[in-house]
Structures are given as C-alpha cells and as structure tokens.
Amino acid sequence: MGRLSESRGRPGSPLVRRPGGYRSAPPGAHTGAELARLVGLLAGARPSVESVAVGHGRDDASRAAARAFAEVWQSAHGTVLTVVDWPEDAASWLRPARRLTAGAPDAWVVTGAARGWAQLSRRLRHSTDWRPDRTFAFAPLGDAAVLELAGADTLEGLRGASPDGGSWCVGGGLIIHDDHDDPEG
C-alpha cells in the first residue's frame, strides 16, 4: 500500500512510493455504455450537478474519454469549468490538483491510469478541498490497484462506470460493483 513520505524536505508529502517502481498499464478505450452510465450517475447525483471539472491522464484513451464526456455533458446537462491533464510520473501533482479544484465545481469527472490518478488523488486530498464522494470516474479507475496505491481512505465515496454500463463505488476499503445496466440510475 502507498505511504506518506518525505519529499524535498517537507514531511507528509502524499507521493506514492512503491518498491520496484510500479507502472500501470494505459487504459483501454471507453465504451458507449460506460459513458452513458457515467452521465447518468452525474445527472442523478444529489445534490444536483451542473458544473464539472474534468481530469485525465495523458494517454490517448483517457484524452478521448474526457473529450467525449465533456461534449455530452455540455450539450445536455451543464458546464465544464476546466479540463486538466496530469502525467503518470512527476515530482509533484500540486499544479494539476489546484487547476482541477479551481472554480469550485459541483463534481469532478476523471479517467487515467492507476498510478497517475493515485498520485493526483493523494495530492488533491492533501492540499485542496476536493471530495472523492463528489467525484465520478471512468472504468480504469475502478481497479484494486488504484485503492492499493492511493489508499482507500483517500478515495472513500468515489463512484464510477464500468465498460458494460454497470457502476462501482469505493466504500469500506473495497470497490463495490453494481452490474445494473440502466444508464440513468
């Protein structure tokens, strides 16, 4: 499991350290059912969601998923305040964390590879007013590796969509899957 470590002399840095230099595989392409379910989760959220900030890793699949979500959300549901990308590896994730939380969105929508998201989520939790229970994710982030790297407490309440149109959420240190196939609820 990831742990807090010292970075540049500052105790409590949220950087993930893992022996062997863990690398996560790049995500696959999102599906139509996944996108529909994700939009449905946000549309049904309480309190309601109008403005979102979208974040994604720098791989092609994550860029495409973020772009597709932003187009659908803006055409039918609300406002995309910002679209922020982040690296898989960096010395700090503070800049993308601050950009993602600027403007006080109603919710966040994210996708990417496990390690980059784990790093960013730890920085978000450590340094901003980000809330995982107001964050919605594409399928690649509903993976046990994400919980292991970020720590379950960092992601408690995170929700997301599965490629087949099901959904998942983080609760009690686990990823709980719901295979319900209705994208609206």
Mean pLDDT of the 116-128 span:
95
The predicted pLDDT at position 11 comes to 37
pLDDT at 8 over 80: no
> CA-CA distances (angstroms) from residue 43 to 48, 68, 181?
7, 16, 16
pLDDT bracket for residue 90 (50, 70, 90): confident
pLDDT at 12 over 70: no
Task: Please state at what angle helix 32-43 crosses helix 60-76, rounded to 10 degrees.
Answer: 50
What's the rounded Cα separation, in Å, for the pair 111 and 140? 7
pLDDT at 9 over 60: no
Choosing among 3.90.420.10, 2.120.10.30, 3.40.50.2300, 1.20.1090.10, the CATH entry for 33-178 is: 3.40.50.2300
The predicted pLDDT at position 15 comes to 56
pLDDT bracket for residue 20 (50, 70, 90): very low
Query: Longest Cα pair distance anywhere in the chain, in angstroms?
Result: 50
The predicted pLDDT at position 88 comes to 86
Task: Say if residues 138 and 161 touch (Cβ distance below 8 Å).
Answer: yes
Residues with Cβ < 8 Å from 19, sequence gap 6 or more?
A: none
pLDDT bracket for residue 30 (50, 70, 90): very high
The residues spanned by each domain of the chain are 33-178
pLDDT at 183 over 50: no
Q: Cis before residue 27, ω within 30 degrees of 0?
A: no
Give pLDDT tens digits for 38-88. 999 999 999 999 999 999 999 999 999 999 999 999 999 899 999 999 998
Residues with Cβ < 8 Å from 27, sequence gap 6 or more?
A: 57, 59, 61, 62, 65, 111, 112, 113, 138, 139, 140
Mean pLDDT of the 140-167 span:
95
Query: What residue has token string 């990831």?
Result: 2
Task: Say if residues 42 and 52 touch (Cβ distance below 8 Å).
Answer: yes
The predicted pLDDT at position 14 comes to 55
- Compare 22 and 93 and report the one with higher pLDDT: 93
pLDDT bracket for residue 123 (50, 70, 90): very high
